[in-house]
Amino acid sequence: MRTFSATPADIEHGWCLIDADGLVLGRLATIIANRLRGKHKAMWTPHMDCGDHVVVVNAEKVVLTGKKRSQKIYYRHTGYPGGMKETSAEKILDGRFPERVIEAAVSRMINKGPLQREVMRKLHVYKGGEHPHQAQKPAPVDIAAMNQKNSVKERANG
């Protein structure tokens, strides 16, 4: 018996919709990264892009546990000497582009290289509850129901 290795003809990219309202950032990013890579499928092949397109809505309502919202720092460099800039997660989530927190968390969970760039193109994160991908009919995925630790709302009730 031979080991199955997927070819581009074998791969089908589906669409899934995730509502980030009240979900814990790290747990959400892990699930998104696995779906983008295709690790939830039986035909997953490490060197191929087997994953689905993932649409995330309500990015500004994602939750960071503990004091991470105020203490977690994101760094970037301007390219000039002494150009290191830092921003807190709270400032990003309350700012103009809160979707960047989810994008950064997911991209750091995927191996770097050409495959990462190909996979990250299938991540679509939006600030509000609306998205322009209704024509693709994304299947909703209930992350909060997978594990009670995935959602802050579930923990408060349970």
7 within domain boundaries: no
Residue ranges, the chain, pLDDT below 50: none
Spatial separation of the C-alpha atoms in residues 2 and 31, rounded to whole Å: 30
What DSSP character marks residue 158? Answer: -
Predicted model pTM: 0.92
57 within domain boundaries: yes
- pLDDT value at position 157? 61
Handedness of CA 34, 19, 28, 141 (dihedral sign): negative
- pLDDT value at position 1? 81
Phi, psi of 63 (to 5 degrees): -115, 135
How many folded domains does the chain comprise? 1
Phi, psi of 64 (to 5 degrees): -110, 130
Each residue of 81-117: pLDDT tens digit? 999 999 999 999 999 999 999 999 999 999 999 999 9
Structural tokens at position 61: 């309502």
88 within domain boundaries: yes
82 within domain boundaries: yes
- pLDDT value at position 152? 87
1 within domain boundaries: no
4 within domain boundaries: no
Q: Which residues sit opposite 16 in a β-bridge?
A: 54, 139
Q: Which domain holds residue 42?
A: 15-157
- pLDDT value at position 156? 60
- Within a 10 A sphere around the Cβ of 95, how many other Cβ atoms? 12
Domain containing residue 131: CATH number: 3.90.1180.10
136 within domain boundaries: yes
> Which amino acid type is present at position 130?
E
